[in-house]
Amino acid sequence: MTAMTTATVVGLGYIGLPTAAILATNGVTVHGVDVNESVVDQVSRGVVPFVEPDLGGFLSQAVAAGTLTASTAVKPAEAYILAVPTPFHEDLSPDLTYVKAAAEAIAPVLQPGALVILESTSPPRTTEKVAEWISAKRPDLVDADGAPTVLFAHCPERVLPGRIMTELVTNDRIVGGITAEAAQRAKDLYSTFCDGEILLTDATTAELAKLVENSYRDVNIAFANELSLISDELGVNVWELIELANHHPRVNILQPGPGVGGHCIAVDPWFIVDAAPSLARLIRTAREVNDAKPEWVLGKVADAVGTSSAPVIAALGLAFKPDVDDLRESPARKIVAELADRYPTGTVLAVEPHVEELPRELANRKNVELATLEDAAARADVVVLLVDHRHFRAATPEQLGIEPMRIVDTKGIWA
């Protein structure tokens, strides 16, 4: 079986673009597709449209060599990777709109024997739906027995923002195919750059494996967040409590925070709940605990504000995790928006060293400003620390002139 030499990657975001770049620097000619013309323009010039260490070197090398191009139009290839968002609806059911649109976008150019890989984190059996959507658009790609003549597989990403270019290479990968041939072909493609073990299974198991990984983490974070509520009620320092408990050789409690964010951990457990609502009781409860934590934080800020009707509140951090510019599903972002709404005559000073402008929903609130740490500390009546960026860890409250009674520290870095 000959190696695949061409690939089209649909979706040039936090996962699609790194995947496209690393394929393009490892012998595959890649065309990237995105609906955002600004993203296409930046990628075509070798410019990374978001913050991700080391990605710039791979991208500029591939663009300069002509092995990576980008446009808003799909081009024919031997392999197609769909790396588009998979959010959820207001009722917490999966929203597969982007996946379906991507599948239907590649359908016109598919040829028999092509490989379609769904890389987006997805609910169980979504890969089968991709096959159904494409077959509906292209009935000529179905043989006399009703089987697709295109190969379909799922290969969920398992990388950490900030370390994507390293972990794409070193992490083990799970590849699930609708058929064994599809799984093997997908493994062949990822083997061009992945040094980790590539584990083969069926598509539904691969989909569920990624959801299970993130649900496991969500449940453990919920335990830590619930401990923080209990500790506060009992007048115990939760950070000391966890540190002491973790001295047990078989205990490793995670750290609490203002909630859970990011596209994965805050979303993926709901896909399992939706797939088996009567059985996913622990997973549902963990999600509810973590989703409720921002309201608890808002209550602590209200206690610190007291009777002031026009407080100046410094909110440190908007990202969903430390030292990245990724604001997706960030509890900090939601807390800042809610603070602005609850104190309309006050001012919220948002400090996020990794962005140059506020996201739209915050920029549209007239009482929210993007500020530096030093300016915010000097002006604020109350300081709420939401993200433990290095930038914040490097400064102590004493250096910033912040009195302890003015601090709501949700990450424990000043506790």
Residues forming the active site: 210, 264
Are residues 62 and 25 in contact, defined by beta-carbon separation less than 8 angstroms?
Answer: yes
- Cβ neighbour number for residue 185 with a 10 Å cutoff: 22
Name the nearest CA neighbour of 31 among 115, 40, 97. Answer: 40
Helix (H) or strand (E) holding 201: strand 198-202
Q: Which two tokens stand for residue 48?
A: 């990374």
Are residues 6 and 28 in contact, defined by beta-carbon separation less than 8 angstroms?
Answer: yes
Please report, for residues 50, 245, 352, the alpha-carbon distance to residue 55 in angstroms, rounded to integers and kept in the order given.
10, 39, 22
What is the β-pairing status of strands 151-154 and 173-177? antiparallel
- Cβ neighbour number for residue 259 with a 10 Å cutoff: 26
3 state SS of 116 = strand
Range list of H helices, 123-202: 126-137, 164-170, 180-190
* Paired residues of 210 in beta bridges: none
